Structure formats: structure tokens, C-alpha cells
Amino acid sequence: MRYGGDNRGRLLIIVLIVTSLLLITLDLRGVAVIDGLRNGTQTALTPVQKVGSWAISPLRNFLSDVTHLGRTRNQIEKLKADNEKLKTTLLNRKSADAQLTQLKKVLDLAGNGGYKVVNAKVISQGSSTSFSQTITIDAGTTSGVHTNMTVLSGYGLVGVVKFAYTNSALVQLASDPTFRIGARIAGTQQIGILSGQGTRKGVLQLLDNTTTVKVGDALLARGSQNGRPFVPGAPIGEVTAVDNSPGAVTQTADVKFYANFSTLGVVAVVISNPNSDPRDSLVPPKPRPTPMPTVTVYATPDAASPSPSATK
């Protein structure tokens, strides 16, 4: 019995070897039977593969998300930082453009008036122990800036230098309640004293009550000896209201300053008096009113309506 069992084992091995050699030979010769067996096996295993792939897919996605979670967070943080940098760059660009516009205007004004100026940036705005309304600029004695010098913006008078340091200076604004300047009205040359009121409005007190002041009159700096503290011809503001009270010794008028003190970014300090008084040449031009179109309507007789002679 044992001998017969060993023979059957040997026979099975021989059959398997012969069958394998036969299948290899047929596969090398391109017999379609082998392809059919292979396709059949693949077809039989496909449902199992799909089920396995469906079962393992959530786990594989979860592991992938966990792997990339840290990387995604880092990317989000980087994008946020880049966005903040772009916002800062944009704000700086807008600020630089605004300062460039102010610089161009103040240089145009100084050039037209013949003033020699030093440009300066406003580095702070507030008050001091001596004045309630001031600005600090980034130019001082090393740039030729000294006390009692006129400070201009692109629109006109800003104030006067009160304290000059090595690389900075304190400027009293014309809106300060203690500010005073001799002024004249363009055209009539009527003289008065302008006082700050703490806002963009000043009050003009005329020294002569014989000439009538009108709303819209332009006010200019009368000028000081040697141009300090005030150079002649600097635009100050425009008359917005006039008080002609009967029996008053002097006339008073409200004046709106040309300069907007809350938006100052770049100013100019006049370090040299002009060779000649610019007189009224720096008066800002008044805006021209927009013309309204005129439409004329002509009546046209209706051709379909009968004439008076036809109705008789």
C-alpha cells in the first residue's frame, strides 16, 4: 500500500510538470487558449478587486489627508502672509502716490512764486506744550530749516516753523488759535489780520472799513521783512462770509484756508525770499461753471389737421 501511494505521488508530479511545459509551449506559440484562461481568471477576480478597492479607498484617502494636512496648513498660512504683504504693499503704494501728487503741487506753487524751498515729509501731527495744532517734519537745521520760516503745501500757506532741530522741525499750523498773520485781499490790496480758529476756518479783521469785502475774495500773505516769518504772495484762503455790522469800527470776514491740514503728507519750507513779490499771481483759478445745454423747441403745424380756410 505504501509503495502504491509513492507511485501515485510521483505520477502526479510528472503530470504537473508535463502540463506546465505544455502550457508554456502553447503560450510561447500564441495559442488563444492561454489568453482565454488568463482573461477568465482576470474576469473572475475583477469583482473581488473592486470590492477590495472600494473597501480600502476611504482608509487610503484618510491616510493621504492626514499625510498632507500639515503641508496644507503651512500653505494656507503662507498664502495669508503673502496676502498681508500685498495689502501692505498696496497701501504703501497708495500713500507714495498721494505724497508724489502733493510734492508736485507744492513744487509747482514754489516755482511760480519764485520761492526757494526744502521739501519735507510730515512725520507726526498733534499738539505741543506751546501750541494746540502742530505738525512735525523730517527736515531740520542740517537741511537749512530754521525758526520763523514759512511752510507751504501745494494749495497755499500751512504755517510757520517754531522750533528747528538737527533733523526735524515743529511747525505751528495756521489753524492754531494763537496763529496770526498779516494778509491782504487780492485785487483791492486791502490789509487785515488773519487769526486761526482751531479748524479750517480763520477770521479776518480788516484794518480799513472803507472797502467792501466780498464772498469769494482771495486772501494772500502780505509778507514780512526779509520774508520771515512769512513770504509775500503765499495763498491763504478764500472769504466765505462777511460781517458788515452797522457802526462797527472794522469789518470781519470768515476765511476758509486753501490747505487741508488733516491730509498733509508733504510740505515745503521756504528758505529764501523771492527776488520779487509775486503779487496776485498765485491766486488759485476759480472753477468754471459747467455750461448747460440750451434746447429750443419749434412748433411744427400738423399736416393732417385742416387749415382755417378749409373749415369755412
Answer yes or no: is 101 within a domain.
no
Is residue 207 situated within a structural domain?
A: yes
- The tally of domains found in the chain comes to 1
Question: From the first residue on, what is the mean pLDDT of each consecutive set of 10 residues in the chain (312 residues)?
Answer: 62 73 64 55 53 56 62 77 78 77 93 95 89 96 97 97 97 97 93 95 87 90 93 97 76 94 95 92 80 64 53 46
Backbone angles phi, psi at 66, to 5 degrees: -60, -40
Q: Is residue 4 assigned to a domain?
A: no
Q: The domain that contains 152 carries what CATH number?
A: 2.40.10.350
Q: Would residue 178 count as lying in a domain?
A: yes
Residue 164's domain spans which residues? Answer: 117-272
Let me know the angle formed at the C-alpha of 230 by 238 and 211, rounded to the nearest 5 degrees.
45
Residue at 126 is within a domain: yes
Tell me what pLDDT residue 300 has.
Answer: 63
- Residue 70 has what pLDDT? 66
How far CA 308 is from CA of 206, 247, 305, 311, in Å, comes to: 72, 70, 9, 6
